[in-house]
Amino acid sequence: MIAPMDPAGLVSAVEDLAELLRDATDGGSSVGFLAPLPPADAKAWWLALVPAVAAGEVRL
């Protein structure tokens, strides 16, 4: 089942989401980042979305 992710869910899934972003970037996907994407940068990008998710401005 696909369900929206709330801020707490985003924080708890940040390691997996960061790895997904790194894998896509390292695999050559054009997602706005250049390979190699450092793990800390990928994690920071996701965590920067927490306020927007909490405000309902971004849905995941």
In a domain, 60, yes or no: no
**Segments forming the whole domain that contains residue 31:** 7-54
| pTM for the full predicted model | 0.91
Mean pLDDT of the chain: 96
Segment 1-11 mean pLDDT:
95
In a domain, 2, yes or no: no
Q: If pLDDT is split at 50, 70 and 90, which confidence band does 30 have?
A: confident
Segment 30-42 mean pLDDT:
94
In a domain, 15, yes or no: yes
CB 13 within 8 A of CB 5: yes
Segment 28-49 mean pLDDT:
95
CB 23 within 8 A of CB 59: no
Q: What is the per-residue pLDDT for 50?
A: 98
Q: How many structural domains comprise the chain?
A: 1
CB 59 within 8 A of CB 53: yes
Kindly state the DSSP code that residue 31 receives in the 8-state scheme: S
